[in-house]
Chain A
């Protein structure tokens, strides 16, 4: 007998449990990643928070953010009270209590004071390299998006961009060291012996000597700029291409030249996009350590970069401290103890907050752009 009921399958569909199993497995993996990220961030916040937050107004330990980096001295006075003082205050203390014994003295390099030096150094490196990379990157992108036709040159450029983007950061470090530190041209009156090439300038004995910029802010900026150039070019080209063709056609139809079209009708509309994606490049530059290890960064420096300079341009040829390099020093070169925790986790938390703000900012801006720019 025909029974239509039989056509309707009863119970769970075939493969139901398998479906659930696979889905929950994949979902589990995904949320495991999220969980790990949250745990890592949580651990750093919990351990780093005491260093930069205080219970009183303004709730942020401004000293940690604005003081110079110093060696930390830990010692007991004769009464058995434990003191933790950075080097400058320690010297004051010793002078004030001359003649009194101190006991159990320990010193911890880089752990006292604050991290103003590294923060400023990272800011300088980031600004310098972004300015360079944006200038050259946007110009190159304009050529690729607006002028270029299929040609062997363009093909070579695209190949170069692709390859540059894949080079490991330590190789950029080697490149920066051998080119900007040891071989870049300088104008000097007395070239050193290892100079690659000396071209006389015929002005009072000055010569153009290819002897490098030494380990300095400008060598670091140049190395970092080379590293993020492909990122900036790709992002800028994308935002230039996102400007509708009609804008250009209209301008050209009105008799505008190519350059006028680009300046008035393309660049203004693509600028927000370029700047947004360059935020991402800033995040990457701020976080890189390997390229600046030999080109710009120094572990300990007593002065801020602008102190003790004869002329303001000397800042470019001086070494700087940098936050990622500082974290590397704190993690690798000093033994971990309860007295170094504040410096270690505090620096990492400050750094992570900076990076998180940048990357969050770029995400929000991008989302806004997508909503706003619909032509």
Chain B
């Protein structure tokens, strides 16, 4: 398959145009909204997981309700860690 010369230059121009467009708009805005959706669940999920771990350990060691309280706060800390990480990642992307 041979590529005609005139098509090559047209392809080049079209490519540079697309690159310019991609650099400034849509795609970036999309990923921003994506990261915004991310943060909320990131926080809640860690609290939920921490509490569940606390509950399981409590029933295992028969220490109700101490471990569930401790792990709730540890989960909250993990959630904040998650959010800080996600926010750092978002800043790095700029």
Whether A associates with B in a native complex is no
Interface of A toward B, CB cutoff 8 Å: none
Interface of B toward A, CB cutoff 8 Å: none
